[in-house]
């Protein structure tokens, strides 16, 4: 009974910790330029990862080789970018330590590289993952398999006392963690998947979401890629060969090159926009539509890149507005004349999954203090 009570307490503490993190976390990077990238070859040392059924190829070996090739390509083509590996040899590194390496380095991107395996031999293809709530039992099983490395770590019960890799409920909490970086992560993942069939000859299994602990602890955009299935004899042969590993590294590099080009262009456009409007303070917030009087809006998201405000990008919300504040785009929903009305909208968007949303106020198009606005509009709440 005492053990069960402690488990429940740990779960409550885990959710409370996530709420605090979501409240205080930085909602976007302070700059778009890619200066540091961390490449994370999965598994290693006493943890071989998946093992091929025919050739007995070990995941830890394949992903290390591909990671080192990728890193060399980035260094050669972009000498200004610092490349850091979580491991560059066959050694065991804990999941928390991998993310800590990236966080300590202040990395602009975290790229975790893995290979897949299942019980049968027919499953095949290339897939990319970002942190989120699993939408299928299969996605949950992939996350549980990768997170099982936790159990090989010394003192894992203390390091991850708030998280049980075998408990499906724990993965719901994980999905809340990286909303701030989801847009950047999805852009990169989409680029990786786009031409994988044409360039690699591998089935495109798409971009998916699940609760990977190694992504959860990373405080920057992050993607985990599964290069193929070692349980599939044809793909195992490709994954084990030098030619196949080089082809995979080239594909990953091409995705990185396009991702960098995309954000370099965005960075330049934002910089030019700031220069053109330098008469305004960088801290001045300029709504897209100037409205007379006091107006309340619910801020639902912040991004360092502009996102189209169509409903599909905002969980079906129709009528999302965007305005530029400094270097960041801020997205709001609703236009209310009273704070009490805005609170009802806040509750609605919270239920949709925008758990970090909050009410903000404007007067004649300028952001104002919320309490000042309430004094002007709401007598009683």
Output the pTM of the full model.
0.60
Instruction: Look at residue 24 and tell me if it is in a domain.
Output: yes
Give the chain's domain count: 2
Q: Which domain, by its residues, includes 358?
A: 285-377
Give yes or no: residues 111 and 151 share one domain. Answer: yes
Q: Using pLDDT thresholds of 50, 70 and 90, give the confidence band for residue 155.
A: low
Give yes or no: residues 197 and 130 share one domain. Answer: yes
Give the CATH number for residue 40. 3.40.630.40
Give the CATH number for residue 348. 3.30.70.1070
The yes-or-no verdict on residue 254 having pLDDT over 60 is: yes
Task: Say which range, 4-18, 42-56, 69-83, has the weakest mean pLDDT.
Answer: 4-18
Instruction: Look at residue 210 and tell me if it is in a domain.
Output: yes
Measure the CA–CA gap between 355 and 22, rounded to whole angstroms.
8
Question: Can you tell me which residue has the tokens 């801290």?
Answer: 283
Give yes or no: residues 98 and 244 share one domain. Answer: yes
Give yes or no: residues 181 and 216 share one domain. Answer: yes
Task: Say which range, 48-62, 248-262, 356-370, has the weakest mean pLDDT.
Answer: 356-370
Give yes or no: residues 149 and 293 share one domain. Answer: no
First to last CA, the chain: 43
Q: Using pLDDT thresholds of 50, 70 and 90, give the confidence band for residue 265.
A: low
Give yes or no: residues 226 and 363 share one domain. Answer: no
Instruction: Look at residue 271 and tell me if it is in a domain.
Output: no
Q: Using pLDDT thresholds of 50, 70 and 90, give the confidence band for residue 154.
A: low
The better pLDDT of the pair 300, 20 is held by 300
Q: Decide which of 265, 296, 314 is a domain's last residue.
A: 265
Cβ pair 197, 85 in contact under 8 A? no
Measure the CA–CA gap between 181 and 212, rounded to whole angstroms.
15
């Amino acid at each position: 009974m005492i053990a069960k009570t402690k488990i429940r307490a740990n779960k409550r503490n885990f959710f409370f910790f996530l709420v605090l993190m979501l409240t205080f976390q930085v909602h976007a990077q302070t700059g778009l330029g890619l200066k540091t990238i961390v490449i994370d070859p999965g598994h290693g040392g006493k943890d071989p990862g998946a093992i091929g059924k025919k050739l007995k190829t070990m995941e830890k070996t394949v992903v290390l080789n591909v990671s080192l090739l990728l890193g060399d390509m980035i260094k050669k083509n972009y000498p200004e970018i610092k490349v850091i590996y979580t491991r560059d040899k066959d050694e065991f590194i804990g999941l928390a330590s991998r993310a800590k390496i990236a966080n300590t380095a202040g990395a602009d991107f975290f790229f975790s590289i893995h290979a897949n395996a299942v019980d049968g031999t027919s499953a095949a293809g290339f897939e990319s993952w970002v942190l989120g709530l699993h939408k299928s039992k299969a996605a949950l099983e992939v996350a549980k398999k990768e997170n099982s490395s936790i159990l090989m770590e010394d003192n894992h019960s203390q390091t991850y006392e708030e998280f049980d890799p075998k408990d499906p409920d724990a993965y719901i909490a994980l999905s809340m963690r990286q909303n701030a970086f989801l847009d950047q992560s999805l852009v990169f993942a989409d680029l990786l998947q786009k031409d994988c069939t044409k360039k690699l000859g591998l089935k495109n299994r798409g971009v998916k979401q699940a609760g990977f602990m190694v992504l959860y602890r990373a405080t920057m955009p992050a993607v985990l890629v599964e290069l193929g299935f070692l349980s599939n004899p044809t793909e195992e042969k490709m994954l084990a060969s030098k030619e196949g590993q080089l082809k995979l590294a080239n594909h990953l590099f091409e995705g990185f090159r396009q991702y960098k080009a995309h954000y370099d262009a965005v960075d330049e456009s934002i910089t030019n926009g700031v220069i053109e409007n330098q008469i305004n303070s960088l801290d001045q917030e300029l709504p897209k539509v100037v409205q007379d009087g006091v107006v309340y809006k619910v801020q639902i998201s912040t991004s360092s890149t502009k996102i189209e405000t169509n409903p599909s990008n905002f969980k079906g919300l129709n009528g999302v507005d965007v305005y530029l504040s400094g270097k960041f785009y801020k997205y709001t929903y609703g236009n209310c004349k009273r704070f009490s009305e805005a609170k009802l909208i806040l509750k609605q968007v919270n239920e949709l999954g925008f758990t970090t949303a909050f009410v903000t106020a404007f007067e004649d198009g300028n952001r104002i203090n919320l309490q000042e606005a309430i004094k002007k509009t709401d007598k009683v709440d």
